[in-house]
Amino acid sequence: MQIVTTAPFGEQMTADDILQVMQDLHGWEEKYRQLLQWGKQLPAMPESLKSDEIMVSGCESRVWLLAQQREGLWFFAADSDARIIRGLIGVIMAACQGKTSAEINAFDMAHYFQQLNLLSHLSPTRGNGIRAIVSQIKALTQTQTESLI
């Protein structure tokens, strides 16, 4: 299975772009609506790929994550049964998609989410789920080479 190598929203959107969009929004409700919109834009993972083997543990919602390294760069496909989590997955993937292991593991995801001012508006279990997704991405990119996970 070949993972799509485009940005999570079908366009090249970086972590800096995400930060800019979110900083231009006023209040949690606007940010929440933007996350839902990004969740709708996130490419859906085919049902045939959604299995327990790729499910992220530690998430309140069901989250599936595939990773593939090609020519030293990592590409991800992820999905969730929760709309808000789909948007948050896109935010995470914007920071990781098409990056090297070193870039992914050097990226300060906690600071990124702090700048976005999102976790304070999410339930503790949602925040734990986001941390679980990030932890799994970092673990996968530290241990795998040129293989499909």
Query: Rounded distance, CA 73 to CA 146, Å?
Result: 9
| Residue 66 identity (one-letter amino acid) | L
**Cα-flanking dihedrals φ and ψ of residue 10, to 5°?**
75, 5
Query: Is residue 59 flagged as an active site residue?
Result: yes
Token pair 């896109």: residue: 90
Token pair 């999410």: residue: 122
Query: Rounded distance, CA 110 to CA 149, Å?
Result: 25
For 20, other C-beta atoms within 10 Å of its C-beta total 11
Candidates 18, 56, 59, 122; catalytic one = 59
Both tokens assigned to 90: 């896109």
Tell me 55's DSSP state: B
| Those residues with Cβ within 8 angstroms of residue 52's Cβ, 6 or more apart along the chain or in another chain | none
Active site residues: 59
